[in-house]
Structure 1
Amino acid sequence: MTDQLQAKMVLDKNYEIAKVDERIYGSFIEHLGRAVYGGIYEPGHPQADEQGFRKDVLELVRELRVPIVRYPGGNMVSAYNWEDGVGPEDERPRRLELAWRTIETNEVGTNEFADWAKKAGADVMMAVNLGTRGIDAARNLIEYTNHPGGTYWSELRKSHGYDHPHNIKTWCLGNEMDGPWQVGHKTPYEYGRIAEETGKAMKLVDPSIELVACGSSNTDMPTFPEYEATTLDLAYEQVDFISLHQYYGNRTNDPASYLAKNMDMDHFIRTVRSTCDYIKAKKRSKKTINLSFDEWNVWYHSNEADKRIEPWTVAPPQLEDVYNFEDALLVGSMLITFLQHADRVKMACMAQLVNVIAPIMTENNGKAWKQTIFYPYMHASLFGRGVSLKPVLSSPKYDSKEFTDVPYLDCAAVYSEENKEVTIFIVNKNLTDSIPLTADLRSFEGYHLAEHLVLAHDDLKAVNTAVKEEVVPHSKGQSTLEEGILKSNLEKTSWNVIRLKKS
C-alpha cells in the first residue's frame, strides 16, 4: 500500500440529495425461462403452498424486502393477451410466446401474480402490451384490476374469485418499443402517440395511477436520446416516468474496466434527466418527469448457452447467469449510483428476481439459494431507506482500457432520522490493495459504530451454488469511530456497509 492510496470523506446530515423512494429496490418477473414456472411457481415442489408458489423462494424474496415487482414483461408483453391468463385454469390457452420462442401455458396470470406479490410483501408494476395491441386492451385490463365493480370487466374479475380490486398503481406503457427485436416495434413518433392515448384512457379509468413511458433500450441504440425526447414531447402530460434499461458484462475479462461500468450508468442517467428537463423547458411545464430504471443487472454469462435452447418448449433454462464475486461488486456500485441520483431515480427493477439473470436460483424439485449479487442488493434494500446524503469524497483514481479517472471508491450514504441510523455503502475497486478511509462524521453527534459488514473474496470468479455458498458477507470489517471521526480499512475489491446508530 502506498501513501497515495488514502481516502478522505466528509459526511454531513445537511448535505441532502433527496428522500430515497423505496421502489428503487424493486425487481422484475417476466414469463421467461424458469422465472415463473420452476421459479416462483412449482406446484409439485415439497415447499409449494396451496397455490403452487414455492415458500422457500418467497422467504428469500421477503429477505430482500422487495417493494415492487414488474410483470409480466419485458419483451414477452409485446405479444401477450392478458385475457389468456385469467379465468378457469383448464380453459386457458397454450400460446406460442414469440419473444423467447417458448410455449406459454398461462397457468399463472394477472390474479395469481397479484396473489404472489401480496405474499411477497410487494406491489405490482404492471406492463401493458403496446406491440400487438393498444388502447382498448389496456383500458380493459385496468378496469379488470382496479375498478371496484358493476362493469363488465370488474364483474368478470369477481366471477374469477376476486371480489376486491387489486389496485395496481404503477403501469408501464409497453416495453423497449425502440428495439427492432420487439414484436410491434415502433418509431419514436408512433410510440409517443400510442403512449399518450393509452395513458389518457387508463387515467380516465383510474386517475390515481402512475405511468412509465418507454425510453431507449440502452445507450447504444441509434435513436438514443431522440427516442426519449420525441416520446416525451408527445406524451409529457400523460406520463410520470421515463424508463431506462442497461446490462453490463465482462466479456474481455478486464476487471478494471468492468468494475468502472457504473460510470457509464451515471452518464446514462445524467443524459436522460437532461433530456427530460429539455422537454420540460420546451413545454414551459411545472411537471418533472422522474426516472424508472426498470431493467438493470449484469447479463452475459448465459449468452452462449441460450443459443442452444430448443424452441417451443415450456420454461427452458434461459438467461441463467451464474454470478461471480466481481459481478456482486459491480451490482453494489450500480446500487450506489441509484442512491447518488435519488432526486430523480425513483424506481428501479433488478432484472430479474428468480433464475433468469437473478439473485435467487432454484433447482426444479430442489433447493433455492442466494447468488453473489443477492447480498449487495439485500444490504441496500434493508439499510438504504431514508434520506440519501452527498458524501464529499476524495478518492485515489485509476485508468483502465475503457475508462479514465475512475475513483477506486464508490460511496453513498443514507440517513434515517426516524430510526436514528446512518449507513455508508462503499465499494473498493482496487484489485490489489486495501484503502484506508478517514471520514468526518461530526454532524452525527451521539452516534456509535454498530457494524461494518464486508463482502470480499480472494477470487473474483468465485460463485455460489446449491452445494456451497462461497461468497457470503461477514461482520468483521475494520472500522473505528472516535469523537466523530471514522477510520476504516477497506479491503481490496470489497463491498462495505458501515452502519452507525444513535446511543
Structure 2
Amino acid sequence: MADNKAKMNLDKNFKVGEVDDRIYGSFIEHLGRAVYTGIYEPDHPTADEDGFREDVMELIKKLDVPIVRYPGGNFVSGYNWEDGVGPLEDRPNRLELAWRTIETNEVGTNEFMDWANKADTDVMMAVNLGTRGIDAARNLLEYCNHPGGSYYSNLRKEHGYEEPHNIKTWCLGNEMDGPWQLGHKTADEYGRLACETAKVMKQVDPEIELVACGSSYREMPTFAEWEATVLDHTYEHIDYISLHQYFGNREEDLENYLAQSVGMDDFIESVIATCDYVKAKKGSDKEINLSFDEWNVWFHSNEADKKLEPWQTAPPQLEDIYTFEDALVVGMMLMSLLKHADRVKMACLAQLVNVIAPIMTEEGGDVWMQTIYYPYLHASKYGRGTVLDSVISSPTYDSEDFDEVPFLDAVSVMNEEDDELTIFAVNRSQEEDLAFECDLKGFEDYDVVEHIVLENEDVKARNTADNPDNVTPHTNGNATVKDNKVVADLSKLSWNVVRLKNNK
C-alpha cells in the first residue's frame, strides 16, 4: 500500500436511512444442535423449568436480538407444524429429509414461543410451501394469532395457551428456487402459490407482514429473473423479499475473502433495482423492502458434515469453528446491511447457537463465544439509530473477484436520542496500519468515549471450549478528536468501533 491514509467524510444532514432494529435478527432452525443441546437441554445444570439453558440465554440477551426466524430453513419445507403441538407423549418422531436426521418434535411452536418470550425477542415464523401450502399456512396462523372461537385457536387454548402468540412477521417458504429444497418450484409456480397464500393469510390476520422467497444466493443461475417473476405475482400482497448469502475462504485467498462484502453490496443493490423495476412496471405506489434473512460465513464444517451417519437425533451439523479472519468478514457483512438501511429492514445471522453460530455449547457442559460474536454484539449494541451517508477515500487493491477494493471499509450510525455517533471500520490490509481521519460536520461537540479493537496476529486464531478467550476485543484503540476530526491508527487486519458522544 503506497499510501496508508484513508479519509471519511460525514455530515449530520446527509442520511441513508433509519436502522430497523430487526436488522440484527438471527435464526434458529431444527438443524443439528441448534435446538436440542443448544437452546434446549432439560438435563443441563442451568436448565430452567421449561428446559431452556440459562447460560445460553444470558449470552443471547447480551446480543439484544430483536427477532429470530423459525423453524427453518430447509427444515420447514418438509415440516408438519401439527407434529410439534399438543401433549409430548403424542408427538411423533419423523424422518427429517432436509438434513437426514430424526426430529423428535419435543420442541415445537409453543415451546419456541416460550423461549422467545424469555429471550425478549420477536419471532419470524416460516410456513411450509414445499410439501404443503395454503391450508397448512392459514391453519398455523389461526392457531398462533386468532384470539379464540375457531377450531385452531381453541386447539391452542386446549394446549395451554389462552392468549394468542401474535406473531406478526411470516416467511412464505424457504429457498424455493433451490433444487435441493423439498417441493422446489419454478419462479412462476412459487410466485402463484406465494400470492394465493399471502392473500389467505392476510384475510386471517390483516396486520401481519409477509416475506417472499428471493434467490438463495447471488450466484444462482435464475438470480434476478427469479425475483422479477416472483414479485410480478406477489407485489401487492407481500412486504419484503428475502436474500441469502454465505461466504467462505475455501481457496485460502485472504485478499479475495476480505473483499466479498463488495459482492454483498452489489447483491443488495441488484435486488433493490429489481424490486423497483417491478414497482415501475406495475405503476405501484408500494415499495418492497428487503429481508436478508440468512447471512454468515459457512464452509469450515462442509467436509465433516459429509461423513455424518444419517438418521441421528440432533447430531453436530454445520458446526463451523470460526477464525479471526471470519470475524472481519462478518463485521463487513454487518456494515453492508447498515449501508443499505433505507431498504434492508430485516436480517438474520444464520444461525444463533451451535449451527454456524456465534454461540457454542457443550452437551452437559459450558457455553462459549466464537470470534464472530463480537462484531455482531458491537453492531447490535451501538449500531441503532440513523445511518449517515459516508464519503470514503482510501487506497485500494485488486483481488481475484473484485477490482479497486478499498482497504478501508466503514459506516457510521448516529443515535440522536443518546447524542452518540458510532463509526464501524475495518482495515483490510494484511501489511500496514491505516492512518484514519474522519471529518465531523454537525458533530462539533463530540468526543471519543471508546475505541474498541478486535485484532490478532494469527488470522486463523479461534476461540474454543478449552480456550474461549483466545480472540477477544480490547479498548486500547487510539482514536481522538482534533480540530473536529476523528483521527486514529487502524491496525492492520482489524475491526474497529469508535464511539463518540456529545460532551455538552
TM over 0.5: yes
Counterpart residue number, 2:160 = 161
For residues 120-199 of structure 1, the aligned pairs below 5 Å read 120-199=119-198
Give the whole-Å Cα distance in 2 for the aligned partners of 1:475 and 1:407. 25
User: C-alpha distance in 1, partners of 2:400/2:267?
Assistant: 20
Query: Which one-letter code corresponds to 2:482 in the other structure?
Result: E
Question: Is the contact between residue 146 and residue 164 of structure 2 (CA under 8 Å) also seen in structure 1?
Answer: yes
Unaligned runs of 5+ in 2: none
Q: Any conservation in 1 of the 2:145–2:167 contact (CA below 8 Å)?
A: yes
Distance in 2 (CA, whole Å) between partners of 1:433 and 1:74 is: 41
Matched AA of 1:385? R
Any conservation in 2 of the 1:147–1:165 contact (CA below 8 Å)? yes
Query: Could you say what secondary structure the match of 1:323 adopts?
Result: coil
8 Å CA contact retained: 2:437, 2:487: yes
TM-aligned CA deviation for residue 5 of structure 1: 1.1
Distance 1:350 1:366 in 2: 24
Deviations 1:310-354 (A, max 9, x none): 100100000000000000000000000111000110000000000
Deviation at 1:211, TM superposition (A): 0.2
Q: Does 1:317 align with 2:316?
A: yes
Cα offsets for 1:139-177 (capped at 9, x unmatched): 000000001111110010011111111100000000000
Aligned length: 502
Distance in 2, matches of 1:301 and 1:484, equals: 44
Q: CA deviation at 1:480?
A: 1.1
Matched, 1:244 2:243: yes
Q: Which amino acid aligns with 1:480?
A: T
**Residue deviations 1:378-403, cap 9 Å, x none?**
00000000001111111111112222
Residues 185-204 of structure 1 deviation map (CA, whole Å, 9 limit, x = unaligned): 00000000000000001000
Runs of 4+ aligned residues of structure 1 deviating over 4 Å after TM superposition are none
1:462 maps onto 2:456 in alignment: no
Structure 1 residue 12: Cα displacement:
1.3
Match of 1:282 in 2: 281
1:18-77: per-residue Cα shift (whole Å, max 9, x none)?
000010100000000000001000000001000000000000000111000000000000
| Equivalent residue, structure 2, for 1:327 | 326
Q: Give the counterpart letter for 1:482 in structure 2.
A: K
SS in 2 for 1:418: coil
Same amino acid, percent of matched pairs:
67
Moved more, 443-452 or 370-379: 443-452
- Once the two structures are TM-superposed, the CA of residue 483 in structure 1 deviates from its matched residue by 3.3
2:12 is the alignment partner of 1:13: yes
* Superposition TM-score, scaled by structure 2 size: 0.99
Paired amino acid for 2:74? N
* 1:475 aligned partner, one-letter code: T
1:358 has 2:354 as partner:
no
> Could you tell me how far apart the structure 2 residues matched to 1:459 and 1:360 are?
21
* Contact 2:455/2:491 (<8 A) preserved: yes
2:495 paired residue number:
495
Q: Give, as a single letter, the amino acid of the residue that structure 1 aligns with 2:68.
A: V
User: 2-side partners of 1:365 and 1:161: how far apart?
Assistant: 29
> Which residue number corresponds to residue 471 of structure 1?
471
Say if 2:10 and 2:389, in contact at 8 Å, map to a contact too: yes
- Whether 1:483 and 2:471 are equivalent positions in the alignment is no
Alignment of 1:370-381 (within 5 A): 370-381=369-380
If the length of structure 1 is used for normalisation, what is the TM-score?
A: 0.99
Q: Helix, strand or coil: the match of 1:478? A: coil
- 2:247, 2:8 → 1: CA distance? 29
Pick which of 131-140 and 483-492 moved more. 483-492
Name 2:46's counterpart in structure 1.
47
Residue matched to 1:425: 424
Query: Which residue of structure 1 aligns with residue 447 of structure 2?
Result: 448
2:12–2:441: 8 Å Cα contact kept in structure 1?
A: no
Match of 2:179, SS state, is: coil
Query: For 2:462 and 2:145, how far apart are their aligned partners in 1?
Result: 43
Q: Secondary structure at the residue paired with 1:297?
A: strand
Partner of 1:29: 28
Whole-Å separation in 1 of the counterparts to 2:478 and 2:406: 21
Query: Which ranges of structure 1 fall in alignment gaps of 5 or more residues?
Result: none
The match for 2:78 is 79
Q: Is the 8 A contact 1:442 1:483 kept in 2?
A: no
RMSD of equivalent CA atoms = 0.8
Cα contact 2:40–2:53 (8 A) shared by 1: yes
Aligned equivalents of 1:396, 1:470: Cα separation in 2: 31
Distance 2:7 2:230 in 1: 43
Report the equivalent of 1:228. Answer: 227
- Verify the 8 A CA contact 1:48 1:54 in the aligned structure 2: yes
Q: Which moved more, 1:463-472 or 1:25-34?
A: 463-472
Q: Report the AA paired with residue 429 of structure 2.
A: N
Retained in 1: the 8 A contact 2:447–2:480? no
Cα distance in 2 between the residues matched to 1:427 and 1:140: 47
Q: Quote the offset at 1:445 in angstroms.
A: 2.2
Amino acid at match of 1:483: D
